[in-house]
Structure 1
Amino acid sequence: MKQQLVLVVLARLPAPGRCKRRLAVAIGALAAARVQAKLLAHTMATAKAWREISVNSTVLLAMGPAQGIGGLGLRMQRQFSRAFNSGASRVVLIGSDLPQLSVSDLANAYAHLDHCDLVLGPALDGGYWLVGLNRSNGSLFSGIDWGGAGVLTETIARANGIGLRAKLLPYRSDIDDVGDMAPWLDD
């Protein structure tokens, strides 16, 4: 049986007032939407480049209403369930706010899923920039305080509690507020 790799990009519409709300407080809704559009373009270009070198791979963009209703955990679980129910053997989910995202990040995540159940790309803010699974698990994302700084810690504890073997990728910084943009303002 062929291994089907699915990459899900979870993104907000790059429209003023609909994305990057914390960033918009400092730079305005229109500028924040422009940042979101650039980040989304980078993410999709990286996803396309990964797909071109990956056998039996699919990239799915879940933007806005396509994510369905509910909190982040429910929306993420929905995307994993859809992919696994469609025949995926390994699924990786990323957001669209990581300017450093590379093809090698994605390839490494899938490679680790050959030997572990869960892969997480930890973010400097206490969350994560990537999550991947090699099997569906409906309870991994429930009971997590998605707005807090302990998202990664809570997810790892949850994974350990349900018997998932996890691997961490390198820490990265995503863009949530104006302070997160400092490393990229000179580019």
Structure 2
Amino acid sequence: MNLTIAVIAKECSPGMVKTRLTPPLTPEQAAALAQTSLSQTLETVRSLPAARRLLVFDGTPLQGDAAGFEVFAQSTGGLDERLAAICSLASGPLLILGMDTPQLCRDQLAPLLADWAAPAAVALRRAWLGPASDGGFWALGLYRPDGGLLRGVEMSTPQTGAHQLDRLTRGGLDVGLLPVLTDVDHFADALAAAQRCSGTPFACAVERLATGLQAAGAPVEALSAAAPTRRTAP
């Protein structure tokens, strides 16, 4: 299908990624878990039907991560500007994904893939949004990429997903909603995400970390119960 899938991501250096995983993790453990999440996401994207796969990266990706992807440096500016710039890299249907939902699988994207596999005159939706449980979004699909639909949307707030959805609908687009997924920001999020992708490298890494924390006397169950309150985007 004539689909471009772009993953926006950054180099997983200790102290620079997933800082809210620390504590209970060390900066090195948090960075390693972020790298596992990124690599697993990219492997999932390789399995999806797409004409092009882009890795829009801040830093230098690992050779294995770059395999099968066209690599582009992220643009400057806020996240809204960097996401908007990705729209200029695609001339047809575009799906933008992040690196923070390792539980991503093809089934969660099935409605979009089925819709956009149809001829242009038959496809029902001109946009798709994947809400995140913290109020953001993990996926944005635009049948006709337009950076103006992203610029000016305030990112990284509990209302980001709702504001982005409003921007799309006010732009006259019929928007489909994908399942709500959990961004891995806190260790409780990692535990929740791991439960949804059991047996994967990410789930195994979380299991090893949880076992180590328990052995060190950390109450992992309490960490899970104390996860920050989430607001779900509509």
Q: What's the TM-score bracket when you normalise by the shorter of the two chains?
A: 0.7 to 0.9
Task: Look up the match of 1:135.
Answer: 144
Match of 2:6 among 5, 8, 14: 8
Match of 1:33 among 31, 34, 53: 31
Answer whether contact 1:112 1:119 (CA < 8 A) is retained: no
Task: Look up the match of 2:53.
Answer: 59
CA distance in 1, matches of 2:77, 2:106: 30
Is 2:176 aligned against 1:167? yes
Match of 2:115 among 112, 115, 118: 112
Q: Which range moves more in the overlay, 67-76 or 96-105?
A: 96-105
Amino acid at match of 2:144: R
Match of 1:151 among 134, 138, 160: 160
- Higher Cα Rg, which structure: 2
Q: CA deviation at 1:59?
A: 1.0
SS of match in other structure, 1:27: coil
CA distance in 2, matches of 1:171, 1:107: 14
Q: CA deviation at 1:127?
A: 0.8
Answer whether contact 1:12 1:18 (CA < 8 A) is retained: no
CA distance in 2, matches of 1:27, 1:171: 26
Counting aligned pairs with the same residue, the percent is 31
SS of match in other structure, 2:37: helix
Q: Deviations over 1:77-101 (max 9, x none)?
A: 11122112xxxx2110101111211
Amino acid at match of 1:81: S
Match of 2:95 among 85, 89, 92: 92
Task: Look up the match of 2:106.
Answer: 103
Task: Look up the match of 2:185.
Answer: 176
Answer whether contact 1:93 1:130 (CA < 8 A) is retained: yes
Please report the TM-score for the alignment, with normalisation by the length of structure 1. 0.86
Q: CA deviation at 1:44?
A: 1.1
Amino acid at match of 1:164: L
Q: CA deviation at 1:25?
A: 4.8
Is 2:75 aligned against 1:72? no
CA distance in 2, matches of 1:16, 1:186: 20
SS of match in other structure, 1:77: helix
Q: Deviations over 1:20-49 (max 9, x none)?
A: 122235422211110111001111110111
SS of match in other structure, 1:142: coil
Answer whether contact 2:129 2:141 (CA < 8 A) is retained: yes
Match of 1:122 among 126, 131, 144: 131
Answer whether contact 1:90 1:110 (CA < 8 A) is retained: no
Higher RCO structure, 1 or 2 (CA under 8 Å, sep 6+):
1
Task: Look up the match of 2:88.
Answer: 81
**RMSD (Å) for aligned C-alpha atoms:** 1.8
CA distance in 2, matches of 1:186, 1:33: 16
Please report the TM-score for the alignment, with normalisation by the length of structure 2. 0.70
CA distance in 2, matches of 1:143, 1:48: 31
